[in-house]
Amino acid sequence: MGKVTVAATVVCAAAVCAAAALVVRRRMKSTGRWARAVAILKEMEEKCGTPIGKLRQVADAMTVEMHAGLASEGGSKLKMLISYVDNLPTGDEKGLFYALDLGGTNFRVLRVQLGGREGRVVKQEFEEVSIPPHLMTGSSHELFDYIAAALAKFVATEGEGFHVSPGRQRELGFTFSFPVRQTSIASGDLIKWTKGFSIEDTVGEDVVGELTKAMERIGLDMRVAALVNDTIGTLAGGRYHNKDAIAAVILGTGTNAAYVERAHAIPKWHGLLPKSGEMVSYQYGMG
């Protein structure tokens, strides 16, 4: 069937549907059923709508839980985690950067050449890799070796338009979309696996350390410069393009959020206060 025939068929089908709907509507109006249908829809709309007062109660209750979660571990129903990210992108960044995004049955590797305020994103490339099911329940060694091998293969295709600054090692941002208890900007211990993963020997281990050892085993010269959650990566991307961005939300298997908090408003933070006076905090696993 040719494109013209297909287009004609679709148009005809749409016209028939519209005509049928019009006939049904006229018949319903004539019998009074249309008015009853409208009344039912209006009633549903009114009953399903959440009053502003109730929304404010929910927001207030969530704020209380967030503050409790920032005050102490286990002090809240919300898992409030500290990211160690005290500065977000400004748009002035220059150089070649790599990223690895692991958050499900696929992971993505990306490289981007940033040109500063004027050049912004000069060039970028990415690749998506599927994770074989047996690696999701195997060993930590096998999973991270597989990831490191795919990353090394991607780095090997680095072509024109990408260049590392003289004397600098390639840097990698590691987006790890599973709950971790971070101990620094570039280290964090896995709390638990989700999304179908079940690798016991990774729980409690530093995921950056696991990836670094895997890269060393294959001779990949790269340093993990930052470990972040997907919500923080989203927030960083938003701030790169809009200096007023202060929060990000992920709506997926769960609902996660990250926002910029005042560092002195995080009682469970025991390190030196950052010069920026801010710290990105994030909530994991709501809903």
Which one of the listed residues 195, 201, 243, 268 is annotated catalytic?
195
pTM of structure: 0.75
Residue 24 pLDDT grade (very low, low, confident, very high; cuts 50, 70, 90)? low
Angle of CA points 48, 53, 57, to nearest 5°:
100
pLDDT at 171 over 50: yes
Q: Where are the beta strands (DSSP E) in 131-217?
A: 170-176, 180-184, 187-190
Residue 111 contacts residue 103 (beta carbons within 8 Å): no
Using CA atoms, how far residue 222 sits from 151, 155, 215, 232, in Å, is: 10, 10, 8, 22
β-bridge partners, 175: 101, 228
Give the domain ranges of the chain: 88-242
3-class secondary structure, 23? helix
β-bridge partners, 260: 280
The tens digit of pLDDT for each residue in 79-117 reads: 888 888 999 998 888 899 999 999 888 999 999 999 988
Residue 236 contacts residue 228 (beta carbons within 8 Å): yes
Just give the CATH number of 88-242.
3.30.420.40
The tens digit of pLDDT for each residue in 197-228 reads: 999 999 999 999 999 999 999 999 999 999 99
Is 195 among the catalytic positions? yes
More confident site: 46 or 264: 264
Residue 147 contacts residue 214 (beta carbons within 8 Å): yes
How many C-beta neighbours within 10 Å does residue 257 have? 20
Which one of the listed residues 101, 145, 206, 230 is annotated catalytic?
230
Instruction: Transcribe 41-69 into DSSP letters.
Output: HHHHHHHHSPPHHHHHHHHHHHHHHHHHH
